[in-house]
């Protein structure tokens, strides 16, 4: 048993919750692309997800969270990043539907 195994479910649960939060933020930004609070919340959640994904060795989650951080960090208005927003919505939709959690799909 590795040292991380006892905490794996905790990391998985947290990454699942935050993945859903990112997805919700992306959907909200479709309607309100200048919402700086939502942009900041989404990027912060993606940074935490990235750390958890590395511990869980989840390459897809790590790559998608890294891409989201790079695309939206420092953004003042997502309107200029409409194509990126649509792409990330698609990617996080897959992640949300992929990973089960205690309270339903992520």
Q: State the pTM of this model.
A: 0.82
Q: Which is nearest to 68 in space by CA: 94, 48, 43?
A: 43
* CATH number listed for the domain at residues 7-95: 1.20.120
pLDDT in tens, 45-72: 999 999 888 888 889 889 999 999 999 9
Domain spans, the chain: 7-95
Q: Show Cβ contacts of residue 21 under 8 Å, excluding neighbours closer than 6 positions.
A: 41, 42, 45
């Amino acid at each position: 048993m590795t040292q991380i195994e006892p905490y794996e479910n905790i990391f998985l649960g947290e990454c699942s919750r935050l993945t859903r939060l990112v997805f919700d933020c992306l959907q909200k930004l479709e309607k309100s692309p200048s919402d700086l609070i939502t942009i900041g919340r989404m990027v912060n959640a993606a940074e935490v997800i990235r750390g958890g994904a590395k511990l869980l060795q989840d390459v897809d989650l790590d790559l998608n969270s890294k891409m989201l951080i790079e695309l939206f960090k420092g953004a003042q208005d997502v309107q200029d990043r409409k194509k990126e927003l649509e792409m990330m919505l698609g990617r996080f939709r897959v992640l949300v539907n992929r990973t089960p959690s205690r309270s339903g799909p992520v």
